[in-house]
Amino acid sequence: MISVEKALETILAGCCPLGFEKVNILEASGRVMGEDVIAQRDIPPSPNSAKDGYAVRSSDTKGAKSRTPVELKVIETIAAGSLPRKTVNKGQAARIMTGAVIPKGADAVVLREETEEKDKTVIMKTAVLRGAEVRFAGEDVKKGEIIIEKGSVLRPGHIGMLAALGKAFVTVYQKPRVAILCTGDELVELETDPSPGKIVNSNSYSLAAQVRECGGIPVMLGIGRDNRSDLVEKFELAGRSDVVLSSGGVSVGDYDFVKDVMGDLGNAMHFWKVAMRPGKPMAFGSLNGLPLFGLPGNPVSVMVSFEQLVRPYLLKMQGHKQIFRQIFKAVSAQTIRKETGFKHFMRAVVQKEGDRYVARLTGEQGSGILKSMMAANAFIVLDEDVSFVKKGDEVVVQMLDETMLRTDVPCFE
């Protein structure tokens, strides 16, 4: 049996990022950039007006007040998308719309609301400084600048920037294709009434959702039966996937054949059993040249093992630098007892209460209790040597959902 840390080290040591592909920016959100993006133009391309108003020579407005207004001659109207035709000379102004190019001679814009329009003149009652309400060429992006670095995770702001630069396609890291095989003679597929002794295969679906959540493409291999030949046959279907996940059949039962298949010629088993709860019976090796994670069968164990050991692997494959969940300290809302010798990942809800974070277990922690997994937004992580946590003690929490520190979650206690 090896520690979670050693298991991770072994798993990640053999993990190489995948290759690249070109995708439309509409599909690129959440992907990792596979190239530096160098700006091929200035943004904005030319000085333009930040507001609807009048382009003026700021010196002409000097001293303008309501008692001593300045009157300027309006020489033209400039709409966004059209170019100024005239130069603004002393004593002149051009009516200008937001986004329209600043005419020659002008160096500031006076808001329309702050003027009084007459027939062919405009009256200004306030002075403006040079540069007022002018967006300068290149003030956002300079031509030649590396604007998005390789390895950046694309978020909506990046997509907007790529669009502003006129790029329809970008090179990103490929998504891993992740084959999922659930094993067990007791399993039946969805939309079937399980006969006595049978249960519905849920692990394929929780795994598929977890794979998707971290950017992978699930490839559903269905159910493998508890015999060697069926497993070998079903594993063949993994074909050109990048990673294979199996669930079940990896413990010490009479019909647990996944480890045996890893022992076949050409395959390998790098480790079996990790000092974690839930999730101890897990094997990692290779199968037909592909990395194989032999995950446990219990519905919560399989998800916890995925979170701790598979997710970082899949993120690394996609070029992510940040491959671990956010970890911080919270206060335990209750007393917790655990056995030593295993790292425990306990399903919890972490909430902000005043200026501290409080972690509360979501209920029964059995490895088959999916309800408490469903309610969790975090794990309380307790190290191998810990046996007891008092109410009010500080504990390490690992967030499962970094975007929400929920306040609306029922705890099934």
Give the pair of three-digit tokens for residue 405.
Answer: 């520190």
Strands (E), 26-127: 37-38, 48-49, 53-56, 70-78, 92-96, 108-111, 115-117, 121-124
Distance CA 102, CA 46 (A): 8
Q: Does 281 bind Mg ion (CB under 5 A)?
A: no
List of residues contacting ligand AMP (CB under 6 A): 182, 184, 186-187, 199, 201-203, 247-249, 251, 253, 296-299
Alpha-carbon distance 216 to 316, whole Å?
11
The nearest distance, CB 328 to Mg ion, in angstroms, is 36
User: 224-253 mask for Mg ion (x: CB under 5 A)?
Assistant: ------------------------xx----
Paired tokens of 130 = 């040079």
Between 181 and 386, name the residue whose CB sits nearer to ligand AMP. Answer: 181
- Report residue 45 as tokens: 């391309």
The residue (of 306 and 357) whose beta carbon lies closer to Mg ion is 306
Residues in Cβ contact with 15 at an 8 Å cutoff, skipping those fewer than 6 apart: 291, 313, 316, 317
CA dist 219 and 203 (Å) reads 13
User: 23 or 182: whose CB is closer to Mg ion?
Assistant: 182
Of 48 and 367, the one with the shorter C-beta distance to Mg ion is: 367
The answer to whether the beta carbons of residues 102 and 53 sit under 8 Å apart is no
Give residue 22's region: left, alpha or beta (phi > 0; psi -120 to 50).
Answer: beta
Interatomic CA distance for residues 102 and 362, integer angstroms? 61
CB 149 to ligand AMP: min, Å: 41
Q: Which does 48 bind (CB under 5 to 8 A by kind): ligand AMP, Mg ion, none?
A: none
> Binds 199, which of Mg ion, ligand AMP, none (CB < 5 to 8 A, cut-off by type)?
ligand AMP
Q: Which residue, 138 or 218, has its beta carbon nearer to ligand AMP?
A: 218
Interface with Mg ion in residues 132-191 (CB under 5 A)? 184
Q: How far is the CB of 346 from ligand AMP (least distance, A)?
A: 19
- Nearest residue (CB) to Mg ion, 245 versus 397: 245
Residue 230 touches which of Mg ion, ligand AMP, none (Cβ within 5-8 Å per kind): none
CB of 250 to Mg ion, least distance (A): 8
What is the Cα–Cα distance from 84 to 172, expressed in whole angstroms? 41
- Give least dist CB 236 to Mg ion, A: 20
Report how far residue 234's alpha carbon sits from residue 183's, in angstroms, rounded to the nearest whole number. 10
Query: Is residue 62 classed exposed, middle or buried when 0-12, 13-18 and 19+ CB atoms within 10 A define those classes?
Result: exposed
Hunting for tokens 């399993």 — which residue is that? 187
Which residue sits closest to ligand AMP, CB atoms considered?
297
* Interacting positions 282-341 with Mg ion (CB under 5 A): 297
Please state whether 239 falls in left (phi above 0), alpha (psi between -120 and 50) or beta.
left
**Please, what is the minimum distance in Å from the beta carbon of residue 192 to ligand AMP?**
13
Taking the complex as a whole, how short is the minimal distance between the CB of residue 247 and Mg ion, in angstroms?
9
| Interface residue list for Mg ion (CB under 5 A) | 184, 248-249, 297
